[in-house]
Amino acid sequence: MILVFAVGVAALSVLVCGGSLGNLSGLKLRARWTIVAALALQVLIISVIPREVDGWVGQGLEMISYGLAAAFLISNRAVPWLWLVGLGGLSNLVAIGANGGVMPASEVALRAAGRVRHAGQFLNSASLPKAHLRFLGDIFSLPRPWPLANVFSVGDVALAVGALLLLHSVCESRPVQAARQARSHHAWL
């Protein structure tokens, strides 16, 4: 949910910087259904039914969602900054894959965010005693009582920054236009 909020803030920043979200309608995306399905699976396993999803079912659904997202990214590799979004997703996938389908999380970050695991419940991130690639895990937190209190990873940060840059690039905000003008000016020199 924190990533959805970050993308919303990125979209708002495009408007503040004079960009046009209408430009997104001209963006030709291939295999759109794959990213819609991936996001739907993520919302389902994280927010809708986390208490009812059995561990291996939740892990399997999470891995399927990453596979669908990878198919979308490969199909749309020409979209500016989508590679950074993909790098963030890959970082998360590697951490999850190295830990049997669970994102390793810092116990301190989990406590700060108020995330408690109940027996038999699948959580997309959890404190693991012998976590592999812990540095790629959910080591940061937005603590309680902040809205959207949760844990997040380096991969999540890359996803959010990639989305921000992609939106500004496609929507041609003033900073992007200025950077393009500066590059074309330097090309003439």
**What confidence tens digit (pLDDT) does each residue in 12-50 have?**
999 999 999 999 999 999 999 999 999 899 888 777 765
Both structure tokens of 13: 């920043």
CA-to-CA distance for 112 and 100, rounded, in angstroms? 24
- According to DSSP, residue 105 is labeled B
Confidence of residue 51 (pLDDT cuts 50, 70, 90): low
For 135-168, how does the pLDDT look when each residue is reduced to its tens digit (9 = 90+)?
A: 999 999 999 988 888 999 999 999 999 999 999 9
- pLDDT of 169 strictly over 90: yes
Beta strand 125-126 pairing with 140-142: unpaired
Residue 44 identity: L
The pLDDT of residue 57 is 75
For 162, the token pair is 């990639």
Binned at pLDDT 50, 70 and 90, residue 71 comes out as very high
Segment 78-132, tens digit of pLDDT? 999 999 999 998 999 899 889 987 899 999 999 999 887 655 555 678 889 999 9
The pair of three-digit structure tokens given for residue 171, joined into one six-digit string? 């929507």
Handedness of CA 151, 4, 162, 90 (dihedral sign): positive
Query: Which residue type, as a one-letter code, is found at position 79?
Result: V
pLDDT higher than threshold 90 for residue 6: yes
Cβ 139 vs Cβ 109: under 8 Å: yes
Between vectors from CA 109 to CA 112 and to CA 131, what angle results, nearest 5°? 150
d(CA 102, CA 122): 9
pLDDT of residue 55: 67
Element (H, E) at 142: strand 140-142
Map tokens 């406590």 to a residue: 111
Quick one: pLDDT at residue 179?
A: 92
Report the predicted TM-score, pTM, of the whole model to 2 decimal places. Answer: 0.81
